[in-house]
Chains A and B, each alone.
Chain A
């Protein structure tokens, strides 16, 4: 294990040379193996993209975006109901995610001496580890069981809860990156702390917070698990969040496990659109980070 063992210079000249060439050989071998492993890691990405594009692109047309579900037996139909449902629920979820997440981040970064800080930091970490499906069950027991009604609002609440820890963590990190000189300059001007926080520090950290929010949006817009028991899904067009709602990932799941080829076609096309939506959100997050640097 020790370096000295490897670099032992004892032995005849030929022994040393042999040892050196075997070290060189294992060095090259390791490099090759590591490169191959990296390639293996990336293969599924390309395979999934190839699959989605080859199977999905032919079904993406105007009808896909303007029509809703059609009953079994009829061809055609689109996923307008699911697209609207996803956008609406993710939008509502962002309200919760941003409000609680940014406030939590401000608390952790700007009130570091407060005795509650370690607790809230811990709870936020713990929340980020809770599986999405469990969060779905929680909201189901909380909202659906008591109101006896599935709804888009319940779905949005579950997604919002999932967003909170992600936004807390990124907000805290970017706020801590804002130089304390800026904070002190504001306070030295006689501004109260709340004003310094809201109109000096938050604007300085906006791009970082946007990154966190977009990452959270990307994560939850692809989640189907928490919506099964909350938004429930809906084959009809519905824009009223008080009623059961469709969502892209939920519809893809339902169509994919069905036995009907026509539904599989929609699932493939829906998956292509969903992945483009998710990657756009990730891309915005990345661009926002770039701007900060």
Chain B
């Protein structure tokens, strides 16, 4: 790249330039201020809780507004559990669709399919939640009723049904999986597109079939980018609120069966906020701070992986 040319210090321009530069830097610093303010507000809003429970708030469970006693561990665990389960379902499907778009589909098909996947990402969370309540939950309720009629199945701890409401861990995991697929898919698609042609052509020249090219030449090359994309999607899933809050059942306990109601950090904040005050309110803000930290860690990990493992030339 050629060296950038700086503006000559003319009498006309330099004053205006300084002012303009000052304004731009001030406004850019406002972005930093939003971040700093976020940390300050979350910590000071949750201070009552942090000073009462200390670190114990993070590492014990037992959230009970009735006893005015609060702890975060069960929500942290449920949040990670739902997100990881959702990704286990979503990632293979997302990567497959990215491979379809980049390697299999002819151009006339690739473009509409990739547009449709983008549309999936644009659907608001609350609409996924609405659909999950009125379409998915009744289907899952049907499964639950069948299990209840079959005592042998119901005796299996993982499949045990307490209340056949259709709302619980499995419903939340499924809707969350559907919601993160487009993120993982679009990052994977971009990464796969960046794999150099030589890589493909070299493999084809050795007589590899299409699948062998994908599995042995393209995917290993795109591995780091895809992994980074998966972790970024994990960050999305952790903070996903509305759809999850609408179908997870919101019960402050760890699930033991896939049908159990539970609550994630985000879902408990959304559902209990209305009737809260005092220590409960402070605890909800403290949960928000934990969610904030979790998403920071996840995002930094994703970026570090992408930066470290990506082969030169396909940095995203």
Chain B residue with the shortest CB-CB distance to A24: B209
Q: How far apart are the CA atoms of A125 and B232 in the complex, in Å?
A: 11
Contact with B125, one of A120, A135, A192, A222 (Cβ below 8 angstroms):
A222
- For residues 259 through 304 of chain B, which have their beta carbon under 8 Å from a beta carbon of chain A? 266, 269-270, 273-274, 284-285, 288, 291-292, 295-296, 298-299, 303
Q: Which residues on B sit within 8 Å (CB–CB) of A228?
A: 270, 273-274
Q: Which residues on B sit within 8 Å (CB–CB) of A131?
A: 238-241, 266, 291-292, 295
B51 interface residue per 8 A CB criterion? no
Q: How far apart are the CA atoms of A168 and B29 in the complex, in Å?
A: 12
- For residues 108 through 155 of chain A, which have their beta carbon under 8 Å from a beta carbon of chain B? 108, 110-114, 116, 119-120, 123-127, 129-135, 137-138, 140-142, 145
Q: Which residues on B sit within 8 Å (CB–CB) of A67?
A: none
Known: A38-B113, A192-B7, A193-B7. A31 touches B104 (CB 8 A): yes
Known: A51-B131, A142-B41. A197 touches B13 (CB 8 A): no
A27 touches B134 (CB 8 A): no
Q: How far apart are the CA atoms of A42 and B114 in the complex, in Å?
A: 10
A177 interface residue per 8 A CB criterion? no
In the assembled complex, the CB of A128 is this many whole angstroms from the nearest CB of chain B, namely 8
A257 touches B246 (CB 8 A): yes
Q: Considering only CB atoms and an 8 Å cut-off, how many residues of chain B contact the other chain? A: 96
B195 interface residue per 8 A CB criterion? no
A27 touches B28 (CB 8 A): no
In the assembled complex, the CB of A18 is this many whole angstroms from the nearest CB of chain B, namely 15
Q: Which residues on A sit within 8 Å (CB–CB) of B124?
A: 221-224, 249, 274-275, 278
A256 touches B5 (CB 8 A): no
- For residues 156 through 173 of chain A, which have their beta carbon under 8 Å from a beta carbon of chain B? 161, 164-165, 168
Q: How far apart are the CA atoms of A105 and B157 in the complex, in Å?
A: 53
The residue in A34, A41, A106 that gathers the most chain B C-beta atoms within 10 A of its C-beta is A41
Q: Which residues on A sit within 8 Å (CB–CB) of B232?
A: 129
Known: A256-B133, A271-B130. A45 touches B120 (CB 8 A): yes
Q: Which residues on B sit within 8 Å (CB–CB) of A198?
A: 20
Contact with A253, one of B23, B181, B207, B246 (Cβ below 8 angstroms):
B246
Interface class of chain A by DSSP? helix
Q: Which residues on A sit within 8 Å (CB–CB) of B123?
A: 45, 48, 222, 275, 278
Q: Considering only CB atoms and an 8 Å cut-off, how many residues of chain A contact the other chain? A: 98
Q: How far apart are the CA atoms of A263 and B242 in the complex, in Å?
A: 18
B130 touches A27 (CB 8 A): no
A252 interface residue per 8 A CB criterion? yes
Q: Which residues on B sit within 8 Å (CB–CB) of A274?
A: 124, 126-127
In the assembled complex, the CB of B14 is this many whole angstroms from the nearest CB of chain A, namely 7
Q: Which residues on A sit within 8 Å (CB–CB) of B122?
A: 218-219, 222, 278-279, 282
5 contacts between A and B (CB under 8 A): A45-B123, A48-B128, A104-B31, A138-B288, A222-B124
Query: Which residues of A does B touch, CB under 8 Å?
Result: 1, 3, 6-7, 23-24, 26-27, 30-31, 33-35, 37-38, 40-42, 44-45, 47-48, 51-52, 55, 99-100, 103-104, 106-108, 110-114, 116, 119-120, 123-127, 129-135, 137-138, 140-142, 145, 161, 164-165, 168, 180, 183-184, 187, 190-198, 218-219, 221-225, 228-229, 249, 252-253, 256-257, 264, 267-268, 271, 274-275, 278-279, 282
Nearest 4 interchain pairs by C-beta:
A131-B239, A222-B124, A192-B13, A194-B20
Beyond the given pairs A42-B117, A100-B28, A138-B41, 11 more chain A to chain B contacts, judged by CB atoms under 8 angstroms and listed by A's residue number, are A47-B135, A120-B28, A124-B31, A125-B299, A131-B266, A145-B45, A165-B31, A183-B4, A197-B20, A249-B126, A267-B130
Query: Which residues of B does A touch, CB under 8 Å?
Result: 2, 4-5, 7-8, 10, 12-14, 16-17, 19-21, 23-25, 27-32, 34-35, 37-38, 41-42, 44-45, 92-94, 96-97, 99-101, 104, 113, 116-120, 122-131, 133-135, 178, 181, 185, 203, 206-212, 214-216, 232, 235, 238-242, 246, 266, 269-270, 273-274, 284-285, 288, 291-292, 295-296, 298-299, 303
